[in-house]
Amino acid sequence: MPADVRITHIGGPTALIEVAGLRLLTDPTFDAPGRRYSFGWGSASHKTGGPALEVSDLPPIDAVLLSHDQHGDNLDDAGRAMLPSAAVVLTTASGAARLGGNAIGLRPWETYVLTGTSPVKVTATPARHGPPLSRPITGEVTGFALAAPGGTVWVSGDTVLYDGVRQVADRIDVDVAVIHLGAVRFGITGPIRYTMTAREAATLMDLIKPRAIVPVHYEGWGHFHEGRPAIESAFGDRVTWLTPGKPQQI
């Protein structure tokens, strides 16, 4: 029986995932559009789209799943301000050290159990936010696998296609895949990409074989170089499109 999952895409990488009676919020970004954000080492981007919901619209959050804290398109000022209101923030080991408070760091394949109507085991999965040897520059990133009754929801986090994410196909039976796309590039680093292209993601999904594929984090910022048309070209009708702000049973 498939997992009973409801997802509300709020914007960018931010989604409310409801499973086993738990409310899990990914990568909180609630700033208004229009601002320029620096990502370090001379890279920067403008936010062009705002959130479909405000922080005040959220229900109580049982856990924030924060793929990384060092980039404003995954954790902005308004998102950072709401972190203390969550019961727990699960993130990278280095991110937890920077955030403190209710943040818990997970290294790849480490787990943390959340208790809802049934236990949900959260496993950190490998991610790499750029080409080989880029981690000292781009920083540590993680994905999350949420093992709930009936199936597992996998959130890729910001990552390129590499052997680390291919391990998910070998180690986890994924029911719903929430994948970060956009083929991120910056002018200062030329053709180097920092997230998957749609075609790379389609190749990965051929390995993982989830029941449902949900694209996120592919629009609303100037550093994205592929949007919905590229995703539709690569996937056809294989993906589930979410209307921002509207809960959808997956």
Alpha helices, DSSP H, located in 36-173: 77-82, 93-99, 135-138, 163-171
84, amino acid identity: P
pLDDT of residue 103: 98
Sign for the pseudo-dihedral over CA of 42, 47, 51, 54: positive
pLDDT of residue 244: 96
The residue behind tokens 């592929």 is: 226
Q: How far apart are the C-alpha atoms of 26 and 180, rounded to whole Å?
A: 11
Asked whether the beta carbons of 2 and 42 are under 8 A apart, the reply is no
Output phi, psi for 8, to 5 deg.
Answer: -115, 115
Alpha helices, DSSP H, located in 26-92: 77-82
Q: How far apart are the C-alpha atoms of 196 and 117, rounded to whole Å?
A: 35
Number of H helices and E strands in the chain, helices first, is 6, 15
| DSSP designation for 186 | -
Q: How far apart are the C-alpha atoms of 114 and 132, rounded to whole Å?
A: 33
pTM confidence score? 0.96
Structural domains of the chain ordered from first start: 5-244 (3.60.15.10)
pLDDT of residue 41: 82
What size, in residues, is the chain?
250
Question: Could you report the average pLDDT of every consecutive run of 10 residues in the chain (250 residues)?
Answer: 86 98 98 94 93 98 98 98 98 98 98 96 98 92 96 98 97 98 93 96 98 97 96 97 97
Strand order of the sheet with strand 63-65?
103-105, 89-91, 63-65, 22-26, 14-19, 5-11, 248-249
Cα separations (Å) of 195 from 3, 116, 184, 220? 27, 32, 5, 15
